[in-house]
Amino acid sequence: MRVLGVDPGLTRCGVGVVEGVAGRPLTMLGVGVVRTPADAETGQRLVAIERGIEEWLDQHRPELVAVERVFSQHNVRTVMGTAQASAVAMLCASRRGIPVALHTPSEVKAAVTGSGRADKAQVGAMVTRLLRLDAPPKPADAADALALAICHIWRAPAQNRLQQAVAAHRALKGRTA
C-alpha cells in the first residue's frame, strides 16, 4: 500500500509518502513541505497548497491519502488555517477518486511511538527508526506527515476487518428482520 500522509498547515503543510504493509519493513518514497508566505492572501496560499499536493499526487500516485484530523485548539486562527489546508488535501485526493483517511494526532502518536502523548522529538525519532533514515526529517511537519502514512498502513488492516464485521452484522440483521 502506498500512502501520502498530509500534516495540514497554512504556512507549512507536511507531505510524505510511505509504501509497505503492516508487519513488514516500510519504505519512504518522499518527504517534504509545501510552504506558503505568511503575508500572502489566504486564497492564494490555499491555491499554492493545492498545487503542491497535486504535484505530490502526480509524482507518487498514492493509493490513499491520510490527513491529520483537525482538532480543537486554543488558537482559533491556527485551527482555521489547519482546517482549510486539510480540506484542500481532501479535495485534491477526492477529485482523483483516491480514498482519504483521517487520523487524530493522538492516534498517530500512539501508533508510531506507543504513546498518544508523545512529543514531536519522539515522533521524529521513531519515524527515523521505522523508515531506517539517517536523520529525522525536518521540519517536524515533514516527520508528522510520514507518521500519518505509517499510522494508516499499520491501522488499515484492523479498520478493514472492523468495517467488514459491521457490514456482515448489518446484512445478517437485515435477513432476520
If DSSP codes are grouped into helix, strand and coil, which group holds residue 14? strand
Within 10 angstroms of residue 129's Cβ, the number of other Cβ atoms is 11
Residue 68 bears catalytic tag: yes
* Phi, then psi, of 24 in degrees rounded to 5: -125, 160
41 is in an annotated binding site: no
Q: Can you read off the three cell numbers belonging to residue 115?
A: 504513546
**What are the backbone dihedrals phi and psi of residue 7, each rounded to the nearest 5 degrees, phi first?**
-100, 95
User: 39 among the known binding-site residues?
Assistant: no
Residue 148: which of 8, 49, 34, 12 has the closest Cα?
Answer: 8
Q: Is 68 annotated as a binding residue?
A: yes
Catalytic residue from among 7, 19, 50, 119: 7
Of 19, 107, 141, 144, the active-site residue reads 141
38 HSE (CA, 13 A, CB side): 3
What lies within 8 Å, CB to CB, of 73 at 6+ separation is 79
Q: Which three cell numbers stand for residue 41?
A: 492572501
Q: Is 141 a catalytic residue?
A: yes
Give the active site residue among 68, 107, 119, 134. 68
Catalogue the active-site residues.
7, 68, 141
Q: Name the binding residues.
A: 7, 68, 141
User: Which residues are annotated binding-site positions for Mg(2+)?
Assistant: 7, 68, 141
